[in-house]
Structure 1
Amino acid sequence: MRIDLLESTLKELNGSTADIEASALISVDGLLITSAMPQGMDEDRVGAMSAAILSMGERASRELARGVLERVLIQGANGCIIMTSAGPEAVLTVTARANAKLGLLFLDIKRAAQTLAQAL
């Protein structure tokens, strides 16, 4: 079943490194498709913010002639949020620890986004 593949892909992504704390697949409308998030995270809020931020990133990339958007990275004192497209209809959002090795995360996230895009 398709939802099983989506869920297993997120769980596999989360298990690929201890640095990933949560992941979610969100429609471009901001609706949660599936997630692997700890209890207490507001899924609706994550969905709405992810869709809005990725949309703004795509617009900025286009308007400032930076080419096709690959990812949006938000770094805070307590960690980072990485968003990338998972096909034309979805956004993959990942939260990670502050000391995460970003190069490895980007690679794992890119692979997961490709798998998710194919499954959608």
Structure 2
Amino acid sequence: MPLGKILNLLLVALERISAKPAKVTDELQTTEELPSTTTVENTELSAATVSDLQSFTEDARAPQSEIFEEKNATAISMLQDELHKFVSGSAEVEGVIIITPDGMALASVLSPGMDEELTAAMSASMLSLGEHIGRELARGAIDRVVVEGERGYGVLVNCSQEVILLVLASPSAKQGILFLEIKQAIAKIAPLLK
């Protein structure tokens, strides 16, 4: 539905609504009881207005949701491509996942057999716990959380307020180089998250 038609419908509805109370007030001054026809007219007006507004909202939602889903799919595809480049461009990086602070995976490149949902949920919990520990120990804002095990590293980094990056690296990775690669990857990923 064109915007002009929508505005005209809203304007007509507002004029009718604002005109009705004046008419009812005039009728109340002349008679004590409100005529039943006025009630029917108001009901019909309300039903017509509600019907017009419902069709307006349904028409307005459809294109917006399609555009949003299309933008979302494009952004996820671009994120996925950037993650593939990051993993394939470094011999030490074995996997990577982008998650929300509440533990939802947005995009990932993980080793076969790794559960994306579980990895995302654990990563969000680990970062939340790291931030809590940082506050309690008066260390300020957390830059990264690093888990070092016999099979390698897990590095959690905030990309933005809404996105966390988990990088899984081999035990042969040099931490300084790994952190630099992560910083460069975040510089490429961050613009795709807006």
Shared fold (TM-score greater than 0.5)? Answer: yes
Paired position in structure 2 for 1:110: 183
Structure 2 distance, partners of 1:69, 1:62, is: 9
Letter in 1 for 2:115: D
State the one-letter code of the partner of 1:94.
Answer: V
Q: In the alignment, what sits opposite 1:77?
A: 150
- Whichever residue aligns with residue 145 of structure 2, its letter is V
Q: Distance in 2 between matches of 1:46 and 1:84?
A: 14
Mapped to 2, the partners of 1:113 and 1:56 lie a distance apart of 22
If the length of structure 1 is used for normalisation, what is the TM-score? 0.93
Matched, 1:42 2:115: yes
Letter in 2 for 1:67: G
Which region of structure 1 is more displaced relative to structure 2, 22-31 or 2-11? 2-11
1:101 maps to what in 2? Answer: 174
Higher share in strand: 1
Indicate the percent of aligned positions where both proteins have the same amino acid: 38
Q: How many residues in Structure 1 have an aligned counterpart in Structure 2? A: 120
Gaps of 5+ in 2: 1-73
SS in 1 for 2:153: strand
Dislocated runs of 4+, deviation >6 Å? none
Relative to its length, the structure with more helix (as a share) is 2
Matches of 1:80 and 1:98 in 2, distance apart? Answer: 6
Q: Quick check: which has more Rg, 1 or 2?
A: 2
CA distance in 1, matches of 2:131, 2:178: 21
* Equivalent AA in structure 1 for residue 118 of structure 2: R
